[in-house]
Amino acid sequence: MEEQLLERANVLVPPEALARQRDFQEKIRAMFAAREAHPLACVDTFGCQQNEADGQRLKGMLREMGFTLTAEPREADLVLLNTCAVREHAEQRVFGNLGIFTHTKKENPEQIIGLCGCMAQEERVSRRVRESYRHVDLVFGPHALWRFPELLWQAYETKKRVFSVEDQHGFIAEGLPVERDRGVRAWVSVMYGCNNFCSYCIVPYVRGRERSRDPEAVLAEVRELVEAGYKDITLLGQNVNSYGNDLERGYDFSDLLEEIDRIPGEYLIRFMSSHPKDATKKLFDTMARCRHVAKQLHLPFQSGNDRVLREMNRRYTRQQYLELVSYARSVMPGLVLTSDVIIGFPGETEAEAMDTVSLVEEIGFDALFTFIYSPRPGTRAAEMPDPVSRAEKQVWFDKLLAVQNARSASLHEAYVGKTLKVLVDGESGDPAFPLSSRTEGNRLVRLKGDNSLIGQFTQVRITGSNTWALYGEAADSAHPVL
Ligand code: SAM
Ligand code: SF4
Ligand code: F3S
């Protein structure tokens, strides 16, 4: 027991260490003030919502250091690429971008170029950057994110390249500054890391072991967001269903949802992702009961074939997945269900890929995130024989897409004529339907109406649809939609 408590102490960054980082923030601010400089920083984030949330923390720290944020890397004094390693394509894009920065740095030799996020944590990547991208000044992985002020100060002071990419279990740093997007949506990480080691996936190698934030810290953050007017709050974790395992308090994710739900206000709570092996009836019963919890579930199944699921190390079967969905739907009629799928896992046959397509047909998802397998060096699957050509995988993938697109289009069609509650979250960029909004199930609805509706929950009548979106007007509007 004592040893486990000690482990927790090793995970939580102590307040003195965070105070030291604030000192570094202040030193950088003072350095620019002495030069009467008004530095600009550009943070470009790739990948998942967890990385977006990290990007908002980096921006928060930069603000504290006196930087103004810009979207234009050319004019920035500091460029940070906050990267994703989940598929090869994402990595290639980043290396392409890094190449471009040789030019911006030629124009502005004082410019600092930083690489952070999941790619930076890969030994193979940091080595390549060290050797072949000598204009990159600062490289740090997710484990060192909380030490960003210190690392940046080091880069300014020593004028040498700084690398902080050691392989670690990872940390929890509470109270880092944050620069959130304005609007109605916000992210809250409830845990970090992953222990699941699905055989295709790089995430456990770059994000460390599962660490749950204390429930008190999560509750305080959600309360603050609700009070600040955020209305659509997504709780994040690679597998929120294992939230609390490391806290040893007998407190799980359902308990957290239940407590959050008691926070007064008009808001929705969503969460992602849920691993089917750890999804419980208790979770679904809690979702059904909690007024603020959206009746929407992202439950990635990855493959509809048991042999492939075993090779992927997913630890559930097709039948178990079907049973989970059936229970969730029984307690939440109208549940919006989405999932992630991989086609072309090493050794997958056409018949096995078609098992995935048939599961999609059988369940009828509201939306799917579909991927063709991408080998990630260092993972177990990357060592497996992979005899099927990319072209053949693409044919299977297209079949899957055709099934899902037909399903999405017919689901959307069935909404036409109905009245729904939506949250208007911004402008759509479409002059005919200038507002963008989301249903409780997170479905996109483009709306006629004026900007005063932004940030409001409102009733809308659905007047049209296609595969990707619904179209509508405020239900009490006097103007018919053509
Ligand atoms: N932790 C989440 C879960 O297990 O549900 C998923 C996180 S991962 C960032 C998002 C999705 O990327 C996965 O669900 C999987 O479908 C896909 N993915 C991960 N590794 C992949 C790979 N090597 N090739 C293709 N897709 C991959
Ligand atoms: Fe990757 Fe699996 Fe962890 Fe999700 S649960 S992040 S797919 S290893
Ligand atoms: Fe997310 Fe990509 Fe890292 S999906 S956890 S940013 S590898």
* Ligand 1 touching residue 86 (CB < 6 A): yes
**Residue 241: per-residue pLDDT:** 97
Whether residue 173 has pLDDT greater than 70: yes
Instruction: Report pLDDT digits (tens) over 286-325.
Output: 999 999 999 999 999 999 999 999 999 999 999 999 999 9
Q: Which of 86, 195, 240 to mutate to test the pocket of ligand 3 (most atoms within 8 A of CB)?
A: 86
* Predicted pLDDT of residue 48: 96
Q: Ligand 3: which atom is nearest the Cα of residue 85?
A: 7
Which residues lie below 8 Å from residue 130, measured CB to CB, with a gap of 6+? 139, 161, 163
Please enumerate in sequence order all residues whose Cβ is within 8 A of that of 35, keeping only pairs 6 or more positions apart, or say none: none
Q: What would the pLDDT profile of 183-216 be if each residue is shown by its tens digit?
A: 899 999 999 999 999 999 999 999 999 999 999 9
* Ligand 1 centroid distance, CA of 329 (Å): 24
Residue whose CB lies within 8 A of the most ligand 3 atoms, among 49, 51, 371, for a mutation test: 51
> Is ligand 1 within 6 A of the CB of residue 315?
no
Contacts of 351 (CB under 8 A, 6+ apart): none
Q: What percent of the chain has pLDDT over 90?
A: 93
The response to whether residue 300 sits with its C-beta less than 6 Å from ligand 1 reads: yes
444-448 vs 470-474, strand pairing mode: parallel
Query: Which of 48, 93, 205 should be mutated for ligand 3, with most atoms under 8 A from CB?
Result: 48
Mean pLDDT of 423-445: 94
Of 202, 240, 340, 369, best ligand 1 pocket probe by most atoms within 8 Å of the beta carbon: 340
Report CA(195)–ligand 2 centroid distance (Å).
8
From 49, 189, 197, 201, mutation site for ligand 2 pocket: most ligand atoms within 8 A of C-beta? 201
For residue 411, pLDDT beyond 90: yes
pLDDT at 479: 41
Does any ligand 1 atom lie closer than 6 A to the CB of residue 139? no
203 Cβ closer than 6 Å to some ligand 3 atom: yes
Number of the ligand closest to the Cα of 382: 1
User: What's the rounded Cα separation, in Å, for the pair 116 and 77?
Assistant: 17
Q: Is 230 left (phi over 0), alpha (psi -120 to 50) or beta?
A: beta
DSSP 273-339: ---GGG--HHHHHHHHH-TTB-SEEE---B-S-HHHHHHTT----HHHHHHHHHHHHHHSTT-EEEE
What are the Cα distances from residue 23, in Å, to 106, 175, 261, 263, 274?
31, 15, 37, 34, 38
User: Residue 478: is its pLDDT beyond 80?
Assistant: no
In this prediction, residue 201 carries a pLDDT of 98
* Cβ-count burial 391-405 (b if 16+ within 10 Å, e if not): eebeebbebbeebbe
Residues with C-beta less than 6 Å from any ligand 2 atom = 194, 196-198, 201, 203-204, 238-239, 275
CA distance linking residue 403 with residue 358, whole number of Å:
9
Counting atoms of ligand 1 from 1, which one is nearest the CA of 299? Answer: 5
Predicted local distance difference test score (pLDDT) of residue 180: 96
With a 6 Å cutoff on the Cβ, whether 186 touches ligand 3 is no
Ligand 1 nearest atom to the CA of residue 273, by list position:
5
pLDDT digits (tens, 9 = 90+) for 324-362: 999 999 999 999 999 999 999 999 999 999 999 999 999
Of 203, 308, 369, the residue with max ligand 2 atoms within 8 A of its CB, to mutate for a pocket test, comes to 203
Instruction: For residue 277, report the distance from its CA to the centre of ligand 2, in Å.
Output: 12
Please give the Cα distance from 310 to 303 (Å, whole number).
10
- Residue 5: band (very low, low, confident or very high) from pLDDT cuts 50, 70, 90: very low
Give 160 Cα–ligand 1 centroid separation in angstroms. Answer: 36
Tokens of 394: 């693409």
pLDDT at res. 482: 30
For residue 48, report the distance from its CA to the centre of ligand 3, in Å: 5
* Average of per-residue pLDDT across 226-250: 96
What value does the mean pLDDT take over residues 118-144?
97
The arrangement of strands across the sheet holding 232-236 comes to 185-189, 232-236, 268-272
**CA within 13 Å, CB half, 348:** 31
pLDDT-based confidence at residue 480 (cuts at 50, 70, 90): very low
Q: Are 286 and 253 in contact (CB under 8 A)?
A: no
Q: Round the average pLDDT of the chain to a whole number and report it.
A: 95
Cα(246)–Cα(140) distance, integer angstroms: 26
* Global pTM value: 0.95
Output the six-digit token pair for 249.
């308090």
Cα–Cα distance measured from residue 144 to residue 350, given in angstroms and rounded to the nearest whole number: 43
With a 6 Å cutoff on the Cβ, whether 86 touches ligand 3 is yes
Q: Looking at ligand 3, which residue's alpha carbon is closest to its atom 2?
A: 84
Over 70: is that where the pLDDT of 88 sits? yes
For ligand 3, the distance from its centroid to the CA atom of residue 141, given in whole angstroms, is 11
Q: Ligand 2 center to residue 177 CA distance, Å?
A: 28
Provide mean pLDDT across the span 127-139: 97
- Ligand 3 atom nearest residue 46's Cα: 6
Q: Render the burial of 249-267: b for 16+ CB within 10 Å, e for the rest.
A: eebbbbbbbebbeebeeeb
pLDDT at 481: 34
Phi, psi of 72 (to 5 degrees): -110, 105
